[in-house]
Structure formats: C-alpha cells, structure tokens
Structure 1
Amino acid sequence: MPDAVITIADLSKTYASGFAALKHVSLEIERGEILALLGPNGAGKTTLISIVCGIVTPSDGTVTVGGHDIVRDYRNSRKMIGLVPQELTTDAFETVWATVSHSRGLFGKKPNPEHIEKVLRELSLWDKKDSKIMQLSGGMKRRVMIAKALSHEPEVLFLDEPTAGVDVELRKDMWAMIRRLRAAGTTIILTTHYIAEAEEMADRIGIIQHGELVLVEEKAELMRKLGKKQLTLTLQERLEALPEALKPYALELAADGESLVYTYDAQAERSGISGLLADLGSAGVRFRDLRTSESSLEDIFVSLVRDAS
C-alpha cells in the first residue's frame, strides 16, 4: 500500500493460559481511510487494537505506526494514536474539562484550550464542561471518552465498539464527527457489531475469526465479488415440477409451486437473466410479477464466518 500509516506484520498473541488470541495477522492500513474490523465476540478484534495501541505486548511479529515501531519507539507511536475503548474508564470526580485537558497533557502536548473547546462543542459536551463525570449519563460519558481520545489531535483513531449501548442521537453525532475527521485526513479503525454502520461508513472491511484475519477487502469490491442477488418470479399458473429446459439455471421452485427463485452473482447478471426469461417463454411458463433482492454486508459476513468456523 503506497501510503500505509499502520503496518502489521505476522502478528501473534498467545496468553499464558495457552490461548492464541491472534495468529500471524498481517495488515496495512492506509492513511486517511476508514477500516471496519468485524468478527464475533472473542475473535481477536480488541486484542489486535490493544497491541497496536501499546496496551498488550505481542508474542511475535511487528507493528509500526507512522514508521515508529510500537515496542522500540513506543512514545512516538502512541502519540499518533487516539483510542476509544469499549469500557467507560475515567475519574468520576473530575470535571469534563479537567479530564479532557489532562488527557492531552499525558501525550506531551502543550495546553490548547481552543482545541479542547472545539472537541467538546462537536460532541455536544460544552454545556457539561464543568460537570463531574459521575453526574453524567452513560451516553455523555461515552462522549467524554471520545473527547479524551481526540484531545491530543491524533492522526489515527481507534474506536472499539463505539456505539454499543448508546442512544440514537449520540450514534448520529458520532458518525457525523467521524466523517469530519476522515475529511480532515484522520485514519479511523473501528470495530462494530452494527454491520449496517460498517456498510455505510467504511472504505474497507476486515473480518477476524478465531484470531485469524479471514479477509480484507474494499467494501464495494467485497459486495461485488461475494454478494448474491435473487430474482423471484410469481407465476401465473402453479407448476408441479420444473420444466427440463429450465434446470440448467438451478432454479428453486417454491413448495406451493407458485414462484421461482433464481440466485445469481454480478458477473452472471446480464446473460443469466436474459437467457432465463427467454427460456421461460419457450417452456410455456408465464409470470405475473417479479422482484429482485441482494445480499447485504451482514449476509456476506455471516457466510464468511460460518465458512471459517
């Protein structure tokens, strides 16, 4: 990848218990892209993020962020990263302003009240700046975690299940903020259980299963290659059996004999449908309605995870 901001090479993590959380993962993440990591619970997503962010030590392999090795040059690599973890961990007795400002200082950044104000306003936290964390709702605490991650102006932002359990308003605000950050050149890596969000927001999709990176693909290409489409024909007259001339199409005849379903991929779309419709007429099969549907990213994800199990 010509402008990779993160390079992960042959990364593995085995815990003292013998559990292999990651197995030989290699991945390059391009500067300015949004990468969504999908996978079931325990697949290794959080372990991967934790290693890149310097929270967990890898067993094997290397990771560089902006050319800085995360082990040998921890300080410089970590300065480039903002992390919004799953867990809400912050000082309950501090104010919002103090918490976010302190987080900026931890990365060696000089005080910048203008930047802190900008972040708090974008996250609808400005009117809560003097409130103690303990006084906030769960959604507001989640906003504070995001503000902390952005306090030191990171080039790379990790969002680990950022919208789990949050209200619709916060989810909309968060995705609007992510779009603005991406437009400004920030690289964003997120894990999510809301596959529709990944489908809407991500440039590329990575799927992790049993600690292995099963697939990394541009979203549009993934949908093109692995997405399936279906054409459902509602028949004018009930069929007892599929005519011989139609058997090459691998059609599914409904149990009641009143509809046919043709499943095809993008490559076969033109020739397959035109040939089918012509052969339907030749076989004396008439239809009164037709509709099409196509698989979603969720369908593809479920299929890939099932195949990898």
Structure 2
Amino acid sequence: MRDTFVKTLVELAKKDKKIELITGDLGFGVLKPFWEQVPDQFTNAGIAEQNMTSVAAGMALEGKTVFTYSIGNFPTLRCLEQIRNDCAYHNANVKIVCIGGGFVYGSLGMSHHATEDLAVMRALPGVVVMAPADLVEAEECTKALASYKGTAYLRLGRGGEKRIHEKIDNFRIGKAIKVHDGKRIALFSTGAIFEEVTAAYDELRSKGFEPAVYTFPTVKPIDSETIEAVSDSFELIVTCEEHNIVGGFGSAVAEVMAENRSNKAALLRIGINDEYSVRVGNQKYLRQQYGIDSSSIVKKVMQQLEG
C-alpha cells in the first residue's frame, strides 16, 4: 500500500504544486521517488512529529495541501494535541498518513502497534478517517483526500497486500464497496484485515453459507445507508478490524444500527478485545493470538449462529 500511496501522490504532486509531503525522518527508501521527482514539495521535519504537524498546519493555512507521513502511532498519538488544535480545529488541509496500521510492526512491540488510532482520530470533530483494504482502494483514497478540503487521516498497511478490485467506479469518501452478494450473513471490514476476511469468506462458503462482503475504506463518515439496508435484510452483520474493539469501525457500525428502528440483523464485532498487545511477533502470528485471523472469524461466526 505504501508504494501505491507514494506513486499516486507523485503523479498528483506533478500536476498540483500546492501538494506537499512532510516526513518525520523515515520512509526514505519508499519516499525516494517523491523527493527525486518533486523535490521542492518535500520536507523532512526530523524526529519531531509535533513540529511536523504544526508546520503542516501552517503550510495548509497558507494554501497548501499537506500530507504528513510516519509509521504506527507516531503521526497520530504522539502529536494528537497538534492534530486537534492546529489542524482539525482550523479545518486545515492536512492529511495524516500512518504506515503500518494494526500489527504490521508486530515484532517491535506494543509501542509500534497502532491499535487505537481509528477510535482516536474518529473522535476528532470534522476529521475524515480512511483505511483502504487493497492497492486499488489505497490509490483511490489518496486521490480523494488530495482533493478533499479539510483534515483527514489515512491508515495504510505496509506492503504485500493482495489486490481485491480490478477497478472501482465512482469511488467516494463515505461510501462502502460491495465485494460479494450474499444472504443471511454480511461481513464488513476496514483496512488490510480484508485478507483474513477473504479467507473466512471462502471457509464459510465451504460450510454451506453465502456471506455478503463489503469493504469500508471510509470509517468516518461511515456509510449509514449501506449499514441500514443490510441490517434490515440480513440476520447477522460481522465487523472485522485490526484495532481495539472499542471505538473503532465496529463501534461506528453499532452506532448506526442502534439508531435504526427496523434492524433485523444481530451484530458481531471482531477486533482486539480492549487489551494491549503484550506479545510480539509478525502480523500473522499476532492476528492469531488476538483472535482476528480467518479461523477465529469463522469460529466466532459459527458460535453466533449456533447460539
């Protein structure tokens, strides 16, 4: 995803001199095409994320479209006050980009596990929150945010994510994407956890079920229309996220369903069960340990259906 993001941003920046990219002193191997092709639109703020964010806000208030870039929790939690006070409060045209959402940097421990970011950023008034599931969604999110006026958050994986879509027609911020039609069960996901959802979908089909599948590249504003339509006609909605179960994608879906008077569907939220990840290991291992891999998804769905 990060290579797709940079490639897309380079092409956009060549056409629009107002686009700026600021890094917090990392990602140089990935960002090299940007600074080589549009060097006057690139800044290294150093290991100083609070300053990076305030500089971005100042540039945005002078008419720039600014992307800040760092890994894990560094561009969000480390500089949350600056995002809130300098960017979001002023509706500044700043796009915060996190590389390595969830357990991507699993071997580096809890400090590098971005598992509360969606909830924290979603709580800030007026901030758009996006988490693409594959390379095509990552490209479309980057394009959409480059033209969006205001503060936004883009959560990306690290690399190696599978391609889901050949193309996406009429991509819009705030709109879910249907991947499969189905009945009884609907699987909702946001971000790179979709690869686990895909495997779970295949296993559920082998058991005789036909789940519908939707990806939600936008967590905020959430696609209330799709959620309401599905909750009116399906028996079970399952939300999947590589994130704390509290406050994130599943909570956003739950909020919509709670205010929908005609719900038919029950809701099952799958995520990290409100705990810090004390284990270390690669992303696949940690997904298994915290019950968000494909086998765990299938097991929890079956338990819900049998209960």
* TM-score bracket, shorter-length normalisation: 0.3 to 0.5
Which structure has the bigger radius of gyration?
1
Query: TM-score w.r.t. structure 1 length?
Result: 0.32
Q: Which has the higher contact order (CA 8 A, sep 6+)?
A: 1
The structure carrying a bigger strand percent of its residues is 1
The structure carrying a bigger helix percent of its residues is 2
Query: TM-score w.r.t. structure 2 length?
Result: 0.33
